[in-house]
Amino acid sequence: MWDLIIKNGRVITMESPQAQDKAILIKDGIIVDIVDNGIVKELDAHNVIDATGLVVMPGLVDCHTHLCEYATEGVHRVKGKSQKMAAISNFLDCLKSGVITVGDHHLGHPVLSTPIQVLKEAARDTELNIKFATGTCCVGTEPLAYTSSIRPGSSLTFDDLDTGHFAKLAVESEFPGENIFITATVANLPSHIVPNGGKRVFDKENVLNIVGIFHSLGKDIGAHIEGAENIQLFIDADGDVVHHGHGAEVRQFEEMARKNIHLVATPHGGTSSAPNSPQEIYSALNAGVITAIATDSYLPVHPEAVGMEELKVVGPKDFLRICKPTFEYLKQQGLSETECLKMITTNAAKIMGLEAEIGSIKKLKKADIILCKGLPVFDFTDTDSIVMVIKDGIVEINKT
């Protein structure tokens, strides 16, 4: 007896060869088999979903968000203990938007002081796969302001960022997110408050040391970086994931591909520089860099972002919208729709170290699946067209 069968849908597995007209058999939250629709009538199941006319594909993966900290203050204006509640509200917005896996960040916040353990516990109670990257953040104010996951609710100085501090961050971090800011962030602040946005925070020796600490503790490291020279520091130090990477050069993408350094692109903003253009993302993919697109939620849209004039602040519900100019350009360059969609499923799962469990529809992977009225990004960008969200084989959201 199967728990759930999804039949007659247009299945986009993200694996090759594609198995478009197959049925998915689910038991105990796992995709146990993928079979011809014809044999489904011979099978018993507690629940059979007829997905005729719908696209069936893996749940979306947003591998760079700030939903438990900066977005709780920014979106909900919470200051105190309600931070946890605001985080859960943000997480529900993800699920409703088809995002079943989230790579969130805990970087400390000058005002919000909920420790990461409490937020991890809250995340465990949600129906999302959530991993937390712990990090230290540098905001480009004058003077520069530092925060850290180790001491949320307080401001630090550069001298606090010693070997012990980075070792503790490495131990706590669950995936290579923005563990360090090689360049100061503009955060979500108006430019006159952050005149040092984009300024380099660490020198070559610092970056080598920090990457060495993470690697010696068995952890991959990611960094917030903009500007070719600064990106080069991280490449030379054998870092693992470049976040934003605005201003990277084609030869750097080639070097990243050779060194197996991945890219999390944010085509709508996130640094003081112009964000990743569709052409830049094409160069990264063309060079062979494992590339994901992420929302960095919630994030104001950079004035130089390509094709996003009507967007102001981007959250989970805008995930597909921010991919659209890039995906359309990539398709013109000859990439398949599936190759594009891998950036918000398979590739993002790989960057989070979850490629064995999620990111495609494959035997023995988790049954984290969305049903859509067409192909996301190409046929629609509104999240109402994601009509069903299934996590671990259980229908969590049903808008049909």
Residue closer to Zn ion, measured from CB, 62 or 296: 296
* Min separation Cβ 139 and Zn ion, Å: 12
* Min separation Cβ 33 and Zn ion, Å: 39
- Contact between 370 and 390 (Cβ < 8 Å): yes
* Min separation Cβ 245 and Zn ion, Å: 12
The residues near 371 (Cβ < 8 Å, ≥ 6 apart) are 6, 9, 49, 51, 54, 55, 56, 386, 387, 388, 390
Residue least distant from Zn ion (Cβ): 296
Establish if 226 lies at the interface with Zn ion (CB under 5 A): no
- What does the per-residue mask of binding to Zn ion show for 330-359, with x meaning CB under 5 A? ------------------------------
* Min separation Cβ 297 and Zn ion, Å: 9
- Contact between 299 and 281 (Cβ < 8 Å): no
Q: Which stretch binds Zn ion (CB under 5 A): 76-84, 87-95, 139-147, 295-303?
A: 295-303
Residue closer to Zn ion, measured from CB, 150 or 180: 180
**What span, in angstroms and rounded, lies between the C-alpha atoms of 78 and 86?**
7
- What does the per-residue mask of binding to Zn ion show for 240-279, with x meaning CB under 5 A? ----------------------------------------
Residue 76 CA from chain centroid, whole number: 21
**What span, in angstroms and rounded, lies between the C-alpha atoms of 147 and 152?**
7
* Min separation Cβ 64 and Zn ion, Å: 6
* Min separation Cβ 105 and Zn ion, Å: 6
Q: Which stretch binds Zn ion (CB under 5 A): 142-150, 289-297, 326-334, 377-385?
A: 289-297
Q: Which of 3, 62, 104, 296 binds Zn ion (CB under 5 A)?
A: 296
Q: Which stretch binds Zn ion (CB under 5 A): 22-30, 126-134, 154-162, 288-296?
A: 288-296
Number of residues that bind Zn ion (CB under 5 A): 1
**What span, in angstroms and rounded, lies between the C-alpha atoms of 174 and 135?**
11
Establish if 104 lies at the interface with Zn ion (CB under 5 A): no
* Min separation Cβ 9 and Zn ion, Å: 34
* Min separation Cβ 214 and Zn ion, Å: 18
Instruction: Sort strands 2-7 and 22-27 into parallel, antiparallel or unpaired.
Output: antiparallel
Residue closer to Zn ion, measured from CB, 133 or 161: 133
Residue closer to Zn ion, measured from CB, 8 or 101: 101
DSSP string, 181-231: ESB-B-TTS-TTT-TTTT-B-S-HHHHHHHHHHHHHTT---EEEEESHHHH
Residue closer to Zn ion, measured from CB, 8 or 188: 188
Q: Which stretch binds Zn ion (CB under 5 A): 25-33, 125-133, 150-158, 296-304?
A: 296-304
* Min separation Cβ 38 and Zn ion, Å: 47
Q: Which residue has 């993966």 as its token pair?
A: 61
- Give kind and range of the element (H or E) at residue 63: strand 60-65
The β-bridge partners of 385 are: none
- Contact between 106 and 149 (Cβ < 8 Å): yes
Residue closer to Zn ion, measured from CB, 296 or 318: 296
Q: Which stretch binds Zn ion (CB under 5 A): 2-10, 198-206, 294-302, 341-349?
A: 294-302
- What is the torsion angle, in degrees rounded to the nearest 10, for the CA atoms of residue 131, residue 267, residue 109 and residue 77? -100
Residue closer to Zn ion, measured from CB, 240 or 296: 296
Number of C-beta neighbours around residue 375 at 10 A: 18
Q: Which of 376, 344, 381 minimizes the C-alpha distance to 55?
A: 376
* Min separation Cβ 157 and Zn ion, Å: 22
- Give kind and range of the element (H or E) at residue 388: strand 386-391
Residue closer to Zn ion, measured from CB, 268 or 350: 268
Reduced to 3 states, what is the DSSP secondary structure of residue 64? strand
- In sequence order, which ranges of the chain are alpha helices (DSSP H)? 70-76, 83-96, 116-124, 163-172, 204-216, 228-236, 250-259, 278-287, 319-332, 337-341, 346-351
What is the binding site for Zn ion (CB under 5 A)? 296
